[in-house]
Amino acid sequence: MMSSEIQFERSGNLGRIVLDRPKALNALTLDQVHAIHPQLDAWAADPGVAAVVIEGAGEKAFCAGGDIKLLHEACKAGDHDFVAAFYRDEYRLNRRIKTMPKPYVALLDGIVMGGGVGVSVHGRFR
């Protein structure tokens, strides 16, 4: 799967995730969180995938955390359900990473904060 914000690729026996928002320092959106979780589930069940690698696009950041701008806008609009869903689902993703039965490797280059730590530190390798 490829979109303007995230890429999923399969190269041989490797699953690859690229956070692709370099202008926003690859800050996580709820859509990205919702896309990553089922992809990890699929790769966990796929005997042809031996490991998963996650990295950030661009030269400045792996991931600067959750997209604070989106969360701030949601708070200002009174959409507290969005904010709650973001953190709930991001933490569920962190748990999924922790329980991934295959090696999960985070290639950290540049800024790593908040949610970027979450999607990296819970894997086996950084």
Measured distance CA(87)–CA(53) in Å, rounded: 23
The DSSP bridge pattern shows strands 6-11 and 14-19 to be antiparallel
Measured distance CA(24)–CA(44) in Å, rounded: 29
Mean pLDDT of 77-103: 96
Q: State the pTM of this model.
A: 0.92
Q: Is the pLDDT of residue 4 over 70?
A: yes
Residue 42's contacts (CB-CB under 8 Å, 6 or more residues apart) are: none
Domains of the chain in start order, with CATH, are 6-121 (3.90.226.10)
What values do phi and psi take at 49, rounded to 5?
Answer: -100, 120
| pLDDT band per the 50, 70, 90 thresholds, residue 120 | very high
